A and B are shown apart, each in its own frame.
Chain A
Amino acid sequence: MRSRPLALIACSMAALTAAFVMSNVVHAQSNPQQAAAKSTAAAAPAPKRDLTGVWQLQGGDGGAQPIAEDKAMPPMTPWAKVKYDAQKPGYGSRGAAGGNDPILQCDPIGFPRIMLMPTPNELLQTPGRTIQFWEREHEWRTIWTDGRPFPTDPDPAWYGYSIGHWESDDTFVVESMGFNDKTWLGPTGYPHSEDMRVVERYRRVDHDTISYDMTVTDPKAYTKPVVTPHRVMKLKSAEEISEQPCVWSQENEFAQRIRNPATPQPAK
C-alpha cells in the first residue's frame, strides 16, 4: 500500500504533463497556418488548382470521426432532438453495443458522413467536373465545375448534388445540397434534414497536404451552422483505391457470427 501515494503523485504529474502536451497539440491543430508552415518544411510546393490524387483523412485514431465533439454542436431544434433521441449510435458519448446505425444494415453512409471515414478518397479533375471516389462503399460523386447552378428541385439523394469552384490557386470550395434525411451526420448519431447544405474548403497547403474544413447549415435541425473541426488530408501517392462495398449478405453473416454475440442481450 506504500506505493499508492507515490503512484497517485506520479499519475497526477503525468496527467498534468499530458494535459500540457495535449493542449499544445490542440493549439497547434487549431492554427492551420502554423500546422501548414510546419508541414511545408518537408513537402514540395502545392501545384496550382490541382487536387488530383489519393487522400487520407488524418486523426481520429484511424477510426471514423464524429462530425464534431458534442460540446461543439449547436443547439438542436425540437424536430432534430426527436430524431437524435431515436438514433442509437455505437460510438461517442451515447455509444452502446447494438443500436440502430443505418450503416449496420448496409444503408449508404451518405454525405458528409463518408468524409469522416478513415479510408482514402481519390480526387480526379476533368474539364467541367471533379470526381471524388471513396474507398469506403466504393462510392463516388460528381462535383460540377462548369458553372452550372443547383437544380431547382432535386430528388433527395444519399450523396446530394455538388458544385465547386476555385476560390484561389490553392483553395477549392464545394457546395452541396439535395440530400435525403436518412443518413446520420456521423457515427455519433447526429441527424440532419433534407434542407441541409454543406460547404467544404479543400486548401492544398503543399504537395502532400490538404487543409480541410466543412460547415453544415441546416436550420430545420440546428439553430446555428455546424462548424466542424479543422482536419487535414495527406496525399498517399503509392495507394490505389480498393474495393470496399458494404455487402449485405457478408455484413449479415458478420452480424450473426460476431456483432450479435458481442451485444448484450436485453434483460428479460
Chain B
Amino acid sequence: MNLRLAVFLFLFAGLLLVCGPVWAHHGNAAYDETHWITISGTVTEFVWSNPHCQIFVDVKDDKGKVVNWAIESQSPGIMRRNSWTRTSLQPGDQITVTLAPAKNGAPVGFSGNADGKVIFADGRVLKMNNR
C-alpha cells in the first residue's frame, strides 16, 4: 500500500468516525445524535417498562455537584435481545453510559441506537440497538 493511499484511508476512516453518528440519525428530534457523550455514575433506578426502559444515574459534575441523569432506553423485548434482563442494573451499581444528550441541555439522554452503550463496573458492555 503506498503512503498516499494509507493517508487517504486513515483520513477517510476518521471522517467516518465523525460522520457516522450523523448518518445513523433517524430523527429522534429531542436528542443531539451528532454529539454523543459519556457519563459515569451511580445507578439510582432501573425502570423495566413498555414501551421504554429507563436508567437513572447520579453523576457528579466538575464541581462535585450531583445531577441525576435520566436515560431513555429500548423496550424490554429489545433489551432482552441485547442480553439485558430486568435485574441487569441495581441501585448503587457504578456504570458508564454513552448517550445522545437532550438538545435543550436537560440531564436527559438516549442510549438506544448503534452509538449508545452501557459499561458495567466489571468491564462488561451492553448495547440496546439489536431489534
- The A-contacting residues of B in range 1-48, CB under 8 angstroms, are 8, 11-12, 14-16, 24-31, 47
Provide the residues of chain A in CB contact with B104, threshold 8 Å: 97, 262-265
B131 and A120 form a contact (CB under 8 A): yes
For the complex, is A130 an interface residue (Cβ under 8 Å from B)? no
**Interchain nearest-CB distance for A184 vs B (Å):** 14
For the complex, is B78 an interface residue (Cβ under 8 Å from A)? yes
B27 and A92 form a contact (CB under 8 A): yes
B49 and A56 form a contact (CB under 8 A): no
For the complex, is A47 an interface residue (Cβ under 8 Å from B)? no
- The A-contacting residues of B in range 88-127, CB under 8 angstroms, are 102-104, 106-108, 113-114
Interface size of B by CB at 8 A reads 40
For the complex, is A153 an interface residue (Cβ under 8 Å from B)? no
A14 and B27 form a contact (CB under 8 A): no
Proximity bits, A72-101, B CB within 8 Å = 1, else 0: 000000000000000000111001111100
B8, B54, B75: the one contacting A13 at CB < 8 Å is: B8
A62 and B76 form a contact (CB under 8 A): no
Provide the residues of chain B in CB contact with A11, threshold 8 Å: 15
A60, A97, A119, A264: the one contacting B26 at CB < 8 Å is: A60
Contacts A250-B50, A258-B108; is A63 near B26 (CB within 8 Å)? yes
**Interchain nearest-CB distance for B97 vs A (Å):** 14
B11, B75, B108: the one contacting A10 at CB < 8 Å is: B11
Stretch touching chain B among A158-166, A204-212, A237-245: A237-245
B11, B24, B30, B81: the one contacting A262 at CB < 8 Å is: B30
Provide the residues of chain B in CB contact with A20, threshold 8 Å: none
Contacts A246-B51, A250-B50, A261-B106; is A14 near B77 (CB within 8 Å)? no
Contacts A97-B29, A244-B76, A250-B50; is A10 near B15 (CB within 8 Å)? yes
For the complex, is A251 an interface residue (Cβ under 8 Å from B)? yes
Closest 4 interchain pairs by CB? Answer: A91-B27, A242-B77, A10-B11, A97-B30
Task: With A97-B104, A258-B52 given, name 11 new contacts (CB 8 A).
Answer: A62-B129, A91-B28, A91-B29, A135-B77, A239-B81, A242-B77, A250-B51, A251-B51, A261-B107, A262-B106, A263-B104
26 pairs, A vs B, C-beta closer than 8 Å: A6-B11, A10-B14, A14-B11, A14-B12, A14-B16, A18-B16, A62-B114, A62-B129, A90-B29, A91-B26, A91-B29, A92-B27, A96-B29, A118-B131, A119-B78, A187-B27, A254-B72, A259-B30, A259-B72, A261-B102, A261-B107, A262-B31, A262-B72, A262-B104, A262-B108, A263-B30
Chain A interface residues toward B at CB < 8 A: 6-7, 10-11, 13-14, 17-18, 56, 60-64, 90-92, 95-99, 118-120, 135-136, 187-188, 239, 242-247, 250-251, 253-254, 257-259, 261-265
Chain B interface residues toward A at CB < 8 A: 8, 11-12, 14-16, 24-31, 47, 49-52, 54, 70-72, 75-78, 80-81, 102-104, 106-108, 113-114, 129-131
